[in-house]
Every structure is written in structure tokens, then in C-alpha cells.
Structure 1
Amino acid sequence: MTNKKYLIFRRNYEDHISKKLVIEKEVFETDFYETRQPFGLVIFGFLMLLYTLYIIFEIHILYELFMIITALFFMYGGLKRSKLIFRISKNGIWSAEFGFIYFRHIERIEFYRYIGKHSSEQMKIYIKNYQLYQMEIPFLEQPISHIEHYGNLKNLLEHALKDTNKRDKNESY
């Protein structure tokens, strides 16, 4: 799904749920961040910067400028903060792409691994009554191969969905 389709889902989801979203009051148990770049990039960038400063007056000035920009690029890549991608709470999941979704609105979650030239891992979140939210396909797709420590994600989500289904069954009786 494209970002435009996610926005349509988000707007329709918030309009149709019975309980209004209050994410600020939600207690998130687990956070998943984007994978950090190796610290070796910072060291490589710093050494490259030192070498560039050493030879700054020996060779052409454009060459040094290019070397400084490259060194700063490597240093930035290693030092930038990783952003929050995915969160799990007792009541639902939050993603940077599609926002907060209650577990009671999730039918099932499946994990796929695509192997090929550009290997990746995807998580598909199947939504109950997806036509209600004007979705063309019954699931939301979240890439997870760039998430740090995502190995435990499947177990956490399965456990949370089971707990929610047990709670729903107990409330219905």
C-alpha cells in the first residue's frame, strides 16, 4: 500500500472505531527501533577527516572538499539517532506508518520472508471488516527487516492477540 492508502485507512479507522484513540494514555510495553549503523562508520569517517585535514594544502581544494563531505556523511550515518518504528501495548500496536490499531480489530498477523536480489521480511496485519475502512486489500504491510531485535516480535504479537481474544470471549459470556 502506498502512503496515500495508509492515510485513507488511518482516517477511516479513526472515524469508525467505537472507542476514541487516546495514545498518550496508552502504556507501551515494548518498543522497536530502526537498526543502528555500525559504530565503525564513525571511526572510518573520523580517520578520513583527519587524513583530509592532513593533506588539505597538498592537493587540489575540490578534492579536499569532496573528502570532507564524504567523511562527514560517514560520521553522520554512524551517529544519527535511530527512530521509533513499532510499539506494542496491552491494547494494540502502533507503527510509524499506520498509527495505532487495537488488537480487537486485528484478525491475524502473518510474517513473510522474500528472498531474492532485494531480500526483506514483511509483516502483514489482517484487519477485521477491512471494507469498512475502504481498504482495497485486507491487510496492512509493515517491513520489519530494518527493525532492531525483531526476532521476538512474532511471539509478542501472537501472545497479545491470544490474550485479547480470551478477553473478548470472556466479556461476551
Structure 2
Amino acid sequence: MLWRMRSFIGALCAAVLVAGCGGVAVDRYAGQTPAMDLRTYFNGTVNGWGMFQDRGGEVIKRFTVRIEARWEGDTGTLDEHFSWSDGTTSRRVWTIRDLGNGRYTGRADDVVGEATGEANGSALRWRYVLALPVDGSVYNVDFDDWMYMIDDKVMLNRSAMSKFGIHLGEVTLSFTRGAP
């Protein structure tokens, strides 16, 4: 019985490691246009519409977000104001640093540690751990964001959420630059 348990745990760990190693590299989008430039896109007002789906695909929450963004030198501030379908509101303020060569780092109050980003061509991959409140508890959840420029006004964002390598759900967003 003990060997079965060890085999199961070993197989589970291997599956989690393999799942974490897959995926598309951001370099795959090199040369695609329009080019992803956070300093240009997130400068001024950006509006977004999105939804959170659980791992089964059910839409759990919908939301809108209004972002007021500005840059001073290589440091940007994205002040995000969310309105959720359940009537609640929330706010997140990102401080993003442009490291050059398509690399970014970021911090926010509900982000554990530092977010890292890499842009190439029309895409950006943004990874971070979010302290997510759920029913009176807070869970540290891994986010793997992919943002894609559609044109100079529209960007699409798809985020996979996971914990211990287990897929929890997805967030899908559409952003538009400029006031509505």
C-alpha cells in the first residue's frame, strides 16, 4: 500500500512539473505588429471589460475596469478601479518599471513579491502571485497573463490562474485606450 501511495505522489509531482514547463515562449511573437509597448499603451485612460471563469468554464464574475496610467522616466503607475457584477468595487495600483529590452517588473499591494514581464512583438507575458481574498480567507494564486495587441487602441488579455500547478480558472479581458 505504501508503494502505491509513493507511486501516486511521484506521478502527481511529475505531472505538475511537466505542466509547468510547457507553453509558448514570448519570442514566438517577435516581429508581429503592432509592437507591444506598455509605456505607450498604458499612458492615459484605458478601459477594460472582463470575466472570471472557473476551471469548468462557468462565468463566476464579470467586471469593468478603468485604468488611469502615467509614466515618469522608466516608472509607470497604473491606477485600476474595478466594478464587479456583484455590485462590489476594488482598486489596485501597479508600479511598473521598464527595465529595457522588453523586460518589466511590477508591484502592487495585493501582489506577493514582484511581478515579471517580457514583451516581444505584439505580445507580453506577465507573471505574478496574487493574494486573492475568497470567502474570508486569502489564497496566494499564481497568475500567468498574456496580453496581445490587436491594434493601437485594443489589447486582449488572457490570464490563467493556478495553485500548486493546478488550474483554477481564467480571466479574460478586452482593453480599449482612451475615454469612452
TM-score by length of 2: 0.24
* Structure possessing the higher radius of gyration over alpha carbons: 1
Higher strand share: 2
**TM-score, with normalisation over the residues of structure 1?**
0.25
Whichever structure has more helix as a proportion of its residues is 1
